[in-house]
Amino acid sequence: LPADPRKFTPHVTLARLRNVRPEDVAHYLTGRGNFYTSPFTVNRFVLMSSKESVGGGPYLTEEVFPLYETGGSWDGADLHDHPV
């Protein structure tokens, strides 16, 4: 198959909730805490939010957290200088 031409960035959606009780969320999560994956490298963590709409988006970058490589160091001084 030909490659999908749409831009895609791998991500994890933490939640999309509407009219839910906190107790229902807690009950759902108690049975799903056993996620496992092979190790992989992550060089940054981006916290995003989305406005209510059909199909997701528009998305807003709330904060970017760069992660340093093993053996390196990071003092947080350039936190807001990294493009998304």
pLDDT value of position 48: 85
| Total domains present in the chain | 1
Helices (H), the chain: 22-30
Residue 49: inside a domain, yes or no?
A: yes
pLDDT value of position 64: 93
Residue 28: inside a domain, yes or no?
A: yes
Question: What is the SS3 assignment for 45?
Answer: strand
Residue 9: inside a domain, yes or no?
A: no
Question: Is-contact 59 49, C-beta < 8 A?
Answer: yes
Domain span at residue 26 reads 22-81
Tell me: the pLDDT tens digits for 15-35?
778 889 989 888 888 888 777
Per-residue confidence of the chain (84 residues) as pLDDT tens digits? 888 888 877 777 777 788 899 898 888 888 887 778 899 888 888 888 887 776 666 788 899 999 876 555 545 544 444 444
pLDDT, mean over the chain: 76
